Every structure is written in C-alpha cells, then in structure tokens.
Amino acid sequence: MSDPLPLVKLDILSDPICPWCYIGKALLDQALADEPDAPFAIEWHPFQLNPDMPAEGMDRSTYLLNKFGSQENAVKLHLQLEEHARAAGVSFNFEAITRTPNTLNAHRLIHWAGLESRQTAMVDALFHANFVAGKDISDVTVLADLAEQVGMDRAVVEKLLAGESDAEEIKARDAHSREMGVNSVPTFIIANQHVVPGAQPPELWKQVIADIRSQLSAQSEQINSDASQ
C-alpha cells in the first residue's frame, strides 16, 4: 500500500455575512463530498466586508439602501443569489435577516474554534445562523450559543467575548490581506501560491484536486527514486 499523499494548505478568506462565501463553501463541499480523500488542510481567515460597521451593526434595510441605492436593486441581487444558491444546494432566508452585524466577534470565534480543530464547523454554524435562521451574529449570546453547538466551552467563550482577546490580531490579519491585494471574498489560496477568487463550481475544484494529486504523486515517485539510488 502506498503512503498517503501529504496535505496541501487551502486558505480561505471569507466573512460569515458574505452570501457568495456561503455559496462558495457549499460548492467546495460538493466537490469534497465526491473527493473525500482530497489532500487539503483547510484554514479560514478573516476578511470583513464592512470593517467600518458600527459595533452594534445596523438595520438591514438601511444597510441595503446605503449599499445598493434602492430596494429594487437589493431585490435584484437577492434573486440572483437565490438562483446560485439553489445550484449549490443551499437556501437564503433574507426575510428573516433584520440586522447587518459587525463580524469582528464572529471572526474571533472562528479563530478560537480553529485552535480546537472546530473551525469549519464554526463557519458552517455562523453561515446557517445568519442566512437561514436570521440571527444577529454580532450578539454575544448568539455567538456563545453557536460555540456551544459545535462543542466549545460556552463559559470560556463568553469570558473571551467579554474582553478584547485577539481583536487586534483579527484586524491586522484582515488589513494584511487587503495589503496583499485581496479586495473581495471568497478568496481561496492553494499552497500559498495559487489564488482562486470567487464561488467556483465543483468541477473546477475536482480538477484542482486531480492536478494536486498528480503533482504530489510525481514528487513522491521522484523522492523514492532518488532514495533508491
């Protein structure tokens, strides 16, 4: 039996209130469901769509009006998103969303979840809470509920959220991504070398996975050949 192939880092820059990030993850998940042995080590990174959002967030209708100029434009965007969501096998419940949150605390929670190898589960929980349940994911009680849901210690999370732990680090990582040229999410970075922007279809990910496997196999064969000489 051949040795398993080494894992390749897949860094994902995302925001839990970004609808295209929600769709992009669902499409990636479709590919991974068909390729369960995909050689990816996934890590999620912070990128706030609205870094200047007030800490308490704002009314959703006001946010949409400011961002898109009219209710009609917002409705058009929602219809487009819903069409893509259906293809990705997910759904939006835009009517349930009454506030647009500041996501700094949500990103802190994703970071802490990563320390416990629960990061992807936390990202899933945040997407569902925001886009399906219509919960305010800037609310510390909501965040503590979600942390408990994925198996984190609620009391520890509540204590961390009550302070400023890792807030400046999250802001610095966000700023660093912008300095490196990232201006939209989702953005996927493969092996610190190849950038894949936007929500991509499963077929693209399957081709990426096949290419990576081929490259890793060739490298492994070369190493074994050199070792035998």
Q: Angle at the Cα of 153 (from 149 to 154), degrees rounded to 5?
A: 70
Give yes or no for a cis peptide into 186 (omega within 30° of 0): yes
Which pair of structure tokens corresponds to residue 192? Answer: 């610190």
Mean pLDDT by 10 residues, the chain (229 residues): 78 98 98 95 98 96 94 93 95 96 98 98 98 98 98 98 98 97 97 96 97 88 66
Counting beta carbons within 10 angstroms of the beta carbon of residue 69, is it exposed (0 to 12), middle (13 to 18) or buried (19 or more)? Answer: exposed
Residue 160: what pLDDT?
Answer: 98
The domain locations on the chain are 8-228
Q: How far apart are CA 37 and CA 127, in angstroms?
A: 25
Q: Give start and end residues of each alpha helix (H) in 132-201.
A: 140-149, 154-162, 167-179
Which pair of structure tokens corresponds to residue 21? Answer: 């990030």
Q: What is the pTM of this model?
A: 0.94
CATH architecture of 8-228: 3-Layer(aba) Sandwich (3.40)
Residue 224: what pLDDT?
Answer: 65
Q: What is the pLDDT of residues 35-88, one digit of tens each?
A: 999 999 999 999 999 999 999 999 999 999 999 999 899 999 999 999 999 999
Q: How far apart are CA 118 and CA 33, in angstroms?
A: 18
Which letter, b or e, does each residue of 102-126 get, where b requires 16 or more Cβ atoms within 10 Å of its Cβ?
bbbbbbbbbbbbbeeebbbbbbbbb
Residue 205: what pLDDT?
Answer: 98
Residue 191: what pLDDT?
Answer: 95
Looking only at the bridges linking them, the beta strands covering 8-14 and 187-190 are antiparallel
Q: How far apart are CA 211 and CA 67, in angstroms?
A: 39
